[in-house]
Structures are given as structure tokens and as C-alpha cells.
């Protein structure tokens, strides 16, 4: 009876509520926990842009591209859609004019099912008040399999991006397809745009922001 009651209670909760309850601190790295604690403790006034993502976002000096604007970097190394969902309330409460979301390469690298990824992204998107915040969904970037030791297949990247494009259309959001600008003739991340096959070089960041 207790098991049945527990199952019923869980079924009445949203995906985001379940993530907050089921996911334990030990499920995340010390870096993730330190960064999320820091983010929660900071106060801001008006915020123009927030970039949300994993290490590709985390490593970028994104505020330098937008002088005169308040730009927050909410990238965390090794993060996945589940981690973004767990911490998205901190981003939402800032009420930025624009939020740019780029997440998914680590989901693919850790074999997260595309349906699970889609469910997490759905919850993330629905967290925002579209009347006050413009949500921009960005395509997951390709990798260069010759340089990156984790053999992430770009066919899977394309599959996840199809899901993102479909979701953006469903919710009336802007979808920025970066990949045509980042892929070489073999469908790999261009060597001159990356330092290790997945993370961007300075030229890669320039191209990213230019396309945004």
C-alpha cells in the first residue's frame, strides 16, 4: 500500500519537481554544486542576456561580445539537460530579456535516451515566461572525431538537433542552426574552430556569436 501511495504521489508531480526530489547532490560534481551555489547567491538588477549550457558555454568570455549589456554566463562543465533542468529556476528568476540555450553534447556522450533529453528540454522551455523572456534554442555543435577521443557520432548529434528544431517550432521559439557554419565537408567540426575536437577556439567563439 505504501509503495502504491508513493507511486501515485510521484505521478502527480511535474518532471522538474521530480528531478529536484530524486536527484541527489552526490549525482553532480563538486564543480557543479559550487557553481550553482554561487549563482544562487548573487544579486543582479536588469539582465539583458543569459547563456545556459555546458563547458562550451562555460569556457566562453561571452560578456566581452556585448559591451554595454548585462550578460551572464550560466555554463557548467560536463553539464547535461538534467543538470540544466535542476538549476533553471535561478535563470528564470533573473527575468533576462533573452536566454540562449546550448546543451546536449554530454547527454549524447553519456548515452542519454533522446526521449529523456526531449522531456528535460520540454520542462526547461516551459519554465520561462515567454512574455518577458525571449528563448533562443541553439543546435548542438558537431564534434571532430579525429581529434576528440570520445567517439560521439555526428549522426546522433543530428538526431538530437531534429528534436530541438521540432520543439522550437512547437513553442514558437527561435532556433539557431549553427552547424552549417561549423561543419566541414565530411560533417565534422572544422579543425580551425576547435582546440580538441569539441571545445571551441577563439575563432570558434567569434563565429558562434557572429551567427547569433
Hey, what long-range contacts does 88-95 have (CB within 8 A, 24 or more apart)?
88/16, 88/52, 88/123, 88/124, 88/127, 89/127, 90/36, 90/39, 90/40, 91/50, 91/52, 92/127, 92/128, 92/129, 92/133, 94/44, 94/47, 94/50, 95/47, 95/129, 95/132, 95/133
Cα torsion angle, 114, 115, 118, 120, sign? negative
Q: How confident is the model at residue 16 (pLDDT cuts 50, 70, 90)?
A: very low
d(CA 159, CA 182): 17
Q: Would you say 127 and 16 are in contact if contact means Cβ atoms under 8 Å apart?
A: yes
pLDDT of 13 strictly over 50? no
Strand order in the sheet with 49-53: 71-75, 49-53, 98-102, 134-138, 174-176
Q: pLDDT per residue over 102-133, tens digit each? A: 999 999 999 999 999 999 999 999 999 999 99
Q: Would you say 53 and 91 are in contact if contact means Cβ atoms under 8 Å apart?
A: no
Q: How confident is the model at residue 97 (pLDDT cuts 50, 70, 90)?
A: very high
Q: pLDDT per residue over 150-159, tens digit each? A: 779 999 999 9
Give pLDDT, residue 25.
53
| Length of the chain counted residue by residue | 212
Give pLDDT, residue 27.
79
Q: What is the pTM of this model?
A: 0.86
Q: pLDDT per residue over 151-194, tens digit each? A: 799 999 999 999 999 999 999 999 999 999 999 999 999 999 99
Domains and CATH numbers, the chain: 18-211 (3.40.50.1110)
Give the rounded percent of residues in the chain with a pLDDT score beyond 70.
Answer: 87
Q: Write out the three cell numbers for 166.
A: 521540432
Q: Write out the three cell numbers for 154.
A: 555526428
Amino acid at each position: 500500500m505504501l509503495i502504491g501511495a508513493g507511486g501515485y504521489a510521484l505521478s502527480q508531480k511535474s518532471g522538474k519537481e521530480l528531478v529536484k526530489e530524486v536527484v541527489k547532490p552526490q549525482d553532480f560534481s563538486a564543480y557543479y554544486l559550487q557553481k550553482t551555489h554561487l549563482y544562487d547567491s548573487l544579486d543582479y538588477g536588469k539582465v539583458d542576456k543569459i547563456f545556459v549550457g555546458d563547458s562550451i558555454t562555460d569556457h566562453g568570455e561571452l560578456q566581452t561580445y556585448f559591451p554595454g549589456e548585462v550578460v551572464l554566463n550560466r555554463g557548467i562543465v560536463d553539464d547535461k539537460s538534467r543538470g540544466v533542468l535542476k538549476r533553471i529556476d535561478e535563470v528564470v528568476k533573473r527575468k533576462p530579456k533573452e536566454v540562449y540555450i546550448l546543451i546536449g553534447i554530454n547527454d549524447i556522450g553519456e548515452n542519454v535516451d533522446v526521449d529523456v533529453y526531449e522531456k528535460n528540454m520540454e520542462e526547461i522551455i516551459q519554465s520561462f515566461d515567454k512574455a518577458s523572456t525571449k528563448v533562443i534554442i541553439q543546435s548542438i555543435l558537431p564534434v571532430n572525431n579525429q581529434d576528440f577521443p570520445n567517439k560521439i557520432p555526428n549522426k546522433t548529434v543530428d538526431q538530437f538537433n531534429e528534436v530541438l528544431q521540432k520543439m522550437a517550432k512547437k513553442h514558437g521559439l527561435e532556433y539557431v542552426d549553427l552547424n552549417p557554419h561549423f561543419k566541414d565537408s565530411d560533417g565534422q567540426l572544422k579543425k580551425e574552430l576547435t582546440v580538441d575536437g569539441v571545445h571551441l577556439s577563439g575563432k570558434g567563439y567569434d563565429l558562434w556569436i557572429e551567427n547569433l
